[in-house]
């Protein structure tokens, strides 16, 4: 009895481990991405918080070992609520494999899982307990009473969202209008508008390259974005509440292949208030921006694939109206979809759309060719026509023969 009970316990333990091992494996890439969280601002965290990213565990075809690629990276940024700028981090994978592996002939073995990073604000990065000392309030303004939160080293670029003017702030804007009242008579009107100076340095919106909207909130002064590897030019649009506030942008030319920092400083029109925002920029790797394919396999057909070619023509038999297609991305993290692969006929276009991790897309097009059925239709028409001709001729002969027989009798 005791032996049986031990066996039951071992089986239960094994089953539990199996369930745990499979609990964080996702059936599709989209499921994995959907389960990942969003970037977290540590300014609201005093103890611990966990952020979840989506990663891909796959068999590296070249090395024969398991590798991990980031599908959706989620981070925590900023300073902890207790003032800790470097919290202790613990990385935990929902499922991970190591060691040697055998790659299948056409497709790499892929598993989508999660990667959790636990940020512990009660400890510093070396694991020791964090001790709060001194003033931990983060400065977000500049002026004579304090220093800059950051010290930009590059020349600032300014983008003003209000009207462009050369008049001194706080001075008068003079507009001269020439109005024709009667033929040959001009009337000149002069309008003077006094600009009102304010201490408003607030921001409404920040958008980078018309694509990356930070979702700006007044209480958040530090943000993190991830951009494609190939993105080199950063056009920062800042919309201020006061159109006459001064906007300065630093760091747009110093974002390296590893990333960088863009600082935005808004100064009120009366120069009494400043508002500073920090944007941490990171890049996807070059491999994560690769949307190319290394092969397109079509059952029963040879495509003569080339990695530098995206347009193909394929001769089909008339009976094939659907093809079994398998594409192999250069980067296993890329995903692809196939469109137009149904009811194939002459000049049908099959599109293989490949999307890299950073959002870069490539499109491969296969145009199908089928032999024309016109000759077949003509042959059928000729056969039918000949048949009808002889049938009608025979009927006429029979009718004529019967008529002549009765005449002689």
pLDDT tens digits for 110-168? 788 888 989 999 988 878 888 875 333 333 333 333 333 333 333 344 443 333 332 23
Quick one: 196 and 230 in the same domain?
Answer: yes
Which segments within 199-317 are labelled E, that is strand?
203-208, 212-213, 222-227, 236-240, 246-250, 260-267, 274-283, 293-298, 311-316
- Residue 393 makes CB contacts below 8 A (sequence gap 6+) with none
pLDDT at 143 (0 to 100): 34
pLDDT at 160 (0 to 100): 39
Closest CA to 326 of 362, 356, 350: 350
Domain limits for position 210: 172-283
Residue 391 in any domain: the answer is no
Contact 205, 216 (CB under 8 A): yes
* Cα separation, 17 vs 24, whole angstroms: 12
pLDDT digits (tens, 9 = 90+) for 333-347: 889 999 999 889 889
Residue 327 in any domain: the answer is yes
pLDDT digits (tens, 9 = 90+) for 270-310: 889 999 999 999 988 888 888 899 999 999 998 889 888 99
DSSP state, 13?
Answer: H
pLDDT at 182 (0 to 100): 53
Percentage of the chain exceeding pLDDT 70: 72
Q: What integer is the mean pLDDT of 222-234? A: 86
Phi, psi of 253 (to 5 degrees): -100, 5
Question: What is the total residue count of the chain?
Answer: 409
pLDDT at 3 (0 to 100): 52
Quick one: 31 and 119 in the same domain?
Answer: yes
Residue 192: its H or E element: strand 185-194
Banded model confidence at residue 6, pLDDT cuts 50, 70, 90: low
Residue 14 in any domain: the answer is no
- Residue 47 makes CB contacts below 8 A (sequence gap 6+) with 120, 121, 122
pLDDT at 239 over 70: yes
Q: Which residue has the higher pLDDT, 328 or 182?
A: 328
Contact 35, 57 (CB under 8 A): no
* Cα separation, 188 vs 301, whole angstroms: 80
Quick one: 36 and 59 in the same domain?
Answer: yes
Mean residue pLDDT of the chain comes to 76
pLDDT at 75 (0 to 100): 81
Decide which of 124, 154, 181 is a domain's last residue.
Answer: 124
Residue 385: its H or E element: helix 374-408
Per the listing, tokens 């020439």 go with 178
Q: Which residue has the higher pLDDT, 22 or 26?
A: 26
pLDDT digits (tens, 9 = 90+) for 364-396: 999 999 876 656 667 788 888 887 887 887 788
- Residue 315 makes CB contacts below 8 A (sequence gap 6+) with 368, 369, 370
Residue 195 in any domain: the answer is yes
Contact 101, 66 (CB under 8 A): yes
Buried b (16+ CB within 10 A) or exposed e, 87-115: bbeeeeebbebeeebebeeebbbebbbbb
Residue 209: other Cβ atoms inside 10 A: 12
Residue 395 in any domain: the answer is no
Residue 113 in any domain: the answer is yes
pLDDT at 111 (0 to 100): 81
Q: 60: helix, coil or strand? A: coil
Residue 5 in any domain: the answer is no
Decide which of 283, 305, 322 is a domain's last residue.
Answer: 283
Model confidence, pTM: 0.42
pLDDT at 12 (0 to 100): 47
Q: Which residue has the higher pLDDT, 267 or 135?
A: 267
Q: What integer is the mean pLDDT of 210-220? A: 87
Lowest mean pLDDT among 53-57, 103-107, 223-227, 400-404: 103-107
HSE, CB side, 13 Å, CA atoms: give it for residue 182.
Answer: 1
Sheet of strand 246-250, all strands in order from the earlier edge strand to the far edge: 222-227, 274-283, 260-267, 246-250
Quick one: 347 and 362 in the same domain?
Answer: yes
Quick one: 293 and 279 in the same domain?
Answer: no
Residue 228 in any domain: the answer is yes
Quick one: 114 and 34 in the same domain?
Answer: yes
CATH number of the domain bearing residue 221: 2.60.40
pLDDT at 70 over 60: yes
pLDDT at 159 (0 to 100): 44
Q: What is the dihedral of CA 390, 391, 392, 398, to 10 degrees?
A: 100
pLDDT at 327 over 50: yes
Per the listing, tokens 């029109």 go with 269
For the chain, the domain total comes to 3
Quick one: 59 and 96 in the same domain?
Answer: yes
Quick one: 339 and 257 in the same domain?
Answer: no
Banded model confidence at residue 201, pLDDT cuts 50, 70, 90: very high
Closest CA to 174 of 157, 158, 154, 190: 190
């Amino acid at each position: 009895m005791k032996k049986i009970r031990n066996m039951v316990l071992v089986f239960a333990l094994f089953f539990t481990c199996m369930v745990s091992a499979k609990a964080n494996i996702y059936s599709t890439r989209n499921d994995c991405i959907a389960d990942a969280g969003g970037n977290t601002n540590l300014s609201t965290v005093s103890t611990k918080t966990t952020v979840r990213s989506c990663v891909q565990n796959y068999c590296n075809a070249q090395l024969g070992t398991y590798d991990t690629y980031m599908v959706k990276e989620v981070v925590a940024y900023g300073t902890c609520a207790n003032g800790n700028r470097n919290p202790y981090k613990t990385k935990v994978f929902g499922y991970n494999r190591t060691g040697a592996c055998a790659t299948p002939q056409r497709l790499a073995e892929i598993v989508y899982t999660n990667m959790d990073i636990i940020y512990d604000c009660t400890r510093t990065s070396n694991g020791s307990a964090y001790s709060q000392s001194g003033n931990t309030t983060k400065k977000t303004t500049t002026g004579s009473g304090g220093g800059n939160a950051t010290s930009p080293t590059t020349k600032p670029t300014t983008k003003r969202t209000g009207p462009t003017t050369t008049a001194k702030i706080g001075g008068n804007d003079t507009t001269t209008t020439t109005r024709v009242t009667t033929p040959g008579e001009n009337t000149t009107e002069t309008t003077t508008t006094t600009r009102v100076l304010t201490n408003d340095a607030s921001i409404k919106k920040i958008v980078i390259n018309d694509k990356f909207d930070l979702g700006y909130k007044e209480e958040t002064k530090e943000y993190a974005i991830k951009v494609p590897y190939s993105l080199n030019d950063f056009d920062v649009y800042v919309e201020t509440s006061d159109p006459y506030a001064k906007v300065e942008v630093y760091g747009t030319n110093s974002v390296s292949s590893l990333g960088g920092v863009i600082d935005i400083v808004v100064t009120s029109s009366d120069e009494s208030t400043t508002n500073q925002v920090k944007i941490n920029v990171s890049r996807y790797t070059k491999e994560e921006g690769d949307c190319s394919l290394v092969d397109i396999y079509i059952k029963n057909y040879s495509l003569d694939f080339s990695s530098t070619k995206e347009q193909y023509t394929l001769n089909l038999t008339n009976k094939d109206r659907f093809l079994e297609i398998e594409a192999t991305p250069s980067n296993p993290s890329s995903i692809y979809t196939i469109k137009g692969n149904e009811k194939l006929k002459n000049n049908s276009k099959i599109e293989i759309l490949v999307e890299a991790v950073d959002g870069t897309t490539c499109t491969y097009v296969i145009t199908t060719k089928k032999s024309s059925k016109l000759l077949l239709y003509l042959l059928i028409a000729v056969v039918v026509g000949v048949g009808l001709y002889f049938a009608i001729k025979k009927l006429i002969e029979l009718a004529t023969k019967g008529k002549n027989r009765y005449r002689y009798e």
